[in-house]
Structure 1
Amino acid sequence: AHGAGAYQRLQPGTLPAGCGCDLPTGLRPLLLPPGAGKGKVQPGPRFWPLSTLLAWRRGASVALPAHDEPPSETRTHVALARNTLAADPGRLFQSDGLDFSPRRRADRHGFTVEQWIFLARFAQDIAPRWVTFGGERRLSWLAAAPREVLAAPPEHLAELAGARRLTLSLATPALFAAGWRPAWLNDDLCGCPPACPDLQLRLVAAAVDGWLSVSGWDLAAAGDGAGRPTAGAKAARKAVPAGATYWFEVIGAPPDDWAERLWLAPIADDEQDRRDGFGLVIPGLWPTPQQQGEESAC
């Protein structure tokens, strides 16, 4: 975001003569368009409506609401000493969580229950029922949603047909063994995403924020009767946060249905991480008309 309500689009570009950077070999820098103006850069909103994101990827100008995300709450905790199971002095840590309580909804203009819901895909059909959800295990209603809710908009798939350049934006955090780079890319930054092994891509640029710590609690291990406070704790791992975007060039002839197969498909390295929903991506356009005639090879 640049200025009051003005959003500038970064694109892979070429540095002027005499300039350099420390990007990995083969990657191009992300540059602002000519005439973007000067000023202090401010962070943009973390949550975008899907229609706005797809319009932005097409190269259109967008307007985003002031209240764009659910409120969060930060809590301070104290670790437990293993020998006494009492508070261990000096071992403090914090956790952040989304707060959907009625008192928080009243503080946010335009925030309603209908605007914020959680969607998840399951391998089997889920019967509607009451469940406990979140860190405080609050009573929540789980119901089946139409499959079309998570389906790719047909008009977006039509726009991507025949594209030679594309972007993959993370809708959920991704776990890669090499940190920011997927393991399915070789040293030449070429490879095929797991959900579409017949689509060969070459990475051109990447916009990745600082790493995100991901851990959790293994309910199966926690319920083994061991009685240890860390029996079910999962090790913390560094993840690429949601919102990161990768720019690719298509190598060779892509399959006709590549966009549909990549829609909300996981690109994390480990198969179990992909099953857990790490690294779901939204494919988008890379509008660079001046480069439409170029072709790359690996």
Structure 2
Amino acid sequence: MRLMQILRIQPLDPLMIRDGRPFDMTPGIKAHSLSDVSPSVLAGTIRTVLGKYSKDVNPIINGDRNIYRQLSSKKSKVVVRGPLYEKDGEIFYPVPQDVGFYHSTENKKLGVDIRRPVQLLEGEGFYGIGTNGLYENLLWLPMSKQVHKETSEAPAYMSATLMHQWLLDELSQEDWGRELKRWSEKQNGSHFIEKFPREERVHTAIDHTTYTAEDQKLFSTESIILPDGMSMLVAVDVSQSNIDWPRDLSLVHSLGGKRRLAHFSADNHETSAYWKCPESILNAVKEKTYIRMVLATPAYFSKGWLPGGFNEELVYENAWESGVNLRLLFACIPRWQPVSGWRYGEIPEDHSKENSAQKNEKTGREKPVRRLVPAGSVYFFEVTKGNAEDLVKLKWLASVSDENRRKSAFDHEDGFGLALWGVWEPSK
């Protein structure tokens, strides 16, 4: 039985979560931030925090830089699931891509497009995913009830209450319109949250020999600001690790770039229910033919946008070892999301010629940029064998990411590809 512990992270500063764009000593350069907190940033920080309480490794006492290599080993590789954003006792998920937002040309109100694929008739064709017509005879036709130009003035996150209704396919356009009106009028109890605002700061480089500002070396950094009262929840699997779980954990620790601070604390067991699938959804998917998967966090797939288990016929047998066979009918996916990072420790030998000074310092190097499927992406499936309930029980808010063959990233362990599941019916 897995032992899951819940951590609550409350940011105390704006968070700098850098994207993969270069950031060097060029005067006037700007460090850009992602739109939300990357799972790998939280996972790495949490392992460092837990490492301070380990029996074998205590970086506060011995100051050993080998802590980074030891924490990355299998012995202390804890599995992290998150983050989930919580505000006022409610979880908020990224808005799924099977709904679009637009401003009505008549009354300027915010409206929605509900997207559902429709099956092609015999003799019809669809252009597919690439210029070569890939999967043109397998994927269904994208269809929405309205055709409008999307607006950027739309919510980015929706409450778990509303998300569960959407996964049950119980929200009509009128329901969406009513909730969007409450949000646009800033009424209390709104089920939506806008994109996290960004803060930009200008800094000056410091001469480390004199500790004074260097002339003509200004640079700027960009950070995201979580709404007041919002915190992040993370579930940590400590059943297979050798780290003693700090029952009374409560400390301030850096998170993200520029050592911005956040408060880490052990949370109560009530929030553990957030990681369990609601009974209403389990009952809805039972023996259901059509189900859909919504990504709550970005996912890595070995075939780019397509999970690695699907064959050339877009069929996944024994999907995610659940005993269920799936056929992919369509997917709503925005532009790929770049995720990078920094690797601490000694530079590998094959990189020694790139920067010998950096190798001597043994400070590490940047990780390669990877293309992930963004959170909110939606996959439409047909169940061809088995009971969908078995799959949903196994993979509700669990990772569906593929294994990285190079093991330069640990997407399963870091919380990438957490999935939500629901039902749908083909459009007629």
**TM-score, normalisation: structure 2:** 0.54
The CA deviation at 1:234 is 1.1
Q: Does 1:8 align with 2:113?
A: yes
Q: Which is greater in Rg?
A: 2
Q: Does 1:71 align with 2:171?
A: no
The CA deviation at 1:256 is 4.4
- Alpha-carbon distance change, 253 to 20 in structure 1, aligned in 2, over 3 angstroms: closer
- Alpha-carbon distance change, 205 to 221 in structure 1, aligned in 2, over 3 angstroms: farther
Q: 2:224 aligns with which of 89, 98, 122?
A: 98
Structure 2 distance, partners of 1:236, 1:211, is: 12
The CA deviation at 1:96 is 5.3
Structure 1 distance, partners of 2:221, 2:118, is: 38
Q: Does 1:240 align with 2:373?
A: yes
The CA deviation at 1:42 is 1.9
Structure 1 distance, partners of 2:392, 2:288, is: 10
Q: Does 1:32 align with 2:166?
A: no
RMSD between aligned residues: 3.2
Q: Which runs of 5+ in 1 are unaligned?
A: 79-92, 101-110, 291-298
Question: AA paired with 1:6?
Answer: G
The CA deviation at 1:197 is 3.4
- Alpha-carbon distance change, 266 to 97 in structure 1, aligned in 2, over 3 angstroms: farther
Residue of structure 1 equivalent to 2:98: none
The CA deviation at 1:157 is 2.1
- Alpha-carbon distance change, 94 to 238 in structure 1, aligned in 2, over 3 angstroms: farther
The CA deviation at 1:195 is 4.2
Q: Which moved more, 1:275-284 or 1:131-140?
A: 131-140
CA contact (8 A) 1:201 1:249 kept: yes
Aligned-partner SS, 2:339: strand
CA contact (8 A) 1:198 1:255 kept: no
- Alpha-carbon distance change, 135 to 126 in structure 1, aligned in 2, over 3 angstroms: farther
Q: What is the number of residues matched between the two proteins?
A: 261
Residues 55-92 of structure 1, C-alpha deviation per residue, up to 9 Å, x if partnerless?
Answer: 223141332424433323467999xxxxxxxxxxxxxx
Structure 2 distance, partners of 1:273, 1:95, is: 27
- Alpha-carbon distance change, 242 to 164 in structure 1, aligned in 2, over 3 angstroms: same
The CA deviation at 1:207 is 0.7
The CA deviation at 1:288 is 3.6
Q: Does 1:117 align with 2:231?
A: yes
- Flag the structure with more relative contact order, 1 or 2, with Cα contacts below 8 A and sequence separation at least 6: 2
CA contact (8 A) 1:207 1:244 kept: yes
Residues 135-193 of structure 1, C-alpha deviation per residue, up to 9 Å, x if partnerless?
Answer: 23233222223211322222222222222111111111111222111111111111157
Structure 1 distance, partners of 2:415, 2:319, is: 13
Residue of structure 1 equivalent to 2:250: 129
The CA deviation at 1:252 is 1.4
Structure 1 distance, partners of 2:171, 2:162, is: 9
Residue of structure 1 equivalent to 2:336: 211
Residue of structure 1 equivalent to 2:396: 263
Question: AA paired with 2:376?
Answer: G
CA contact (8 A) 1:193 1:267 kept: no
- Alpha-carbon distance change, 157 to 22 in structure 1, aligned in 2, over 3 angstroms: closer
Question: AA paired with 2:117?
Answer: P
Q: Which runs of 5+ in 2 are unaligned?
A: 1-100, 104-108, 185-192, 205-218, 239-244, 348-357, 405-409
Question: AA paired with 2:142?
Answer: L
Residues 228-277 of structure 1, C-alpha deviation per residue, up to 9 Å, x if partnerless?
Answer: 66x23211111111111100001112264321212012111116321111
Structure 1 distance, partners of 2:394, 2:221, is: 35
CA contact (8 A) 2:333 2:373 kept: yes
Residue of structure 2 equivalent to 1:175: 300
Structure 2 distance, partners of 1:243, 1:76, is: 33
- Alpha-carbon distance change, 163 to 73 in structure 1, aligned in 2, over 3 angstroms: farther
CA contact (8 A) 1:170 1:282 kept: yes
Residue of structure 2 equivalent to 1:143: 265
Residue of structure 1 equivalent to 2:425: 287
Structure with more of its chain in helix, by fraction: 2
CA contact (8 A) 1:199 1:250 kept: yes
- Alpha-carbon distance change, 253 to 39 in structure 1, aligned in 2, over 3 angstroms: closer
**TM-score, normalisation: structure 1:** 0.75
Question: AA paired with 2:259?
Answer: R
Aligned-partner SS, 1:31: coil
- Alpha-carbon distance change, 161 to 14 in structure 1, aligned in 2, over 3 angstroms: closer
Aligned-partner SS, 2:361: coil
Q: Alignment identity in percent?
A: 25
CA contact (8 A) 2:339 2:369 kept: yes
Q: Does 1:251 align with 2:373?
A: no
Question: AA paired with 2:143?
Answer: L
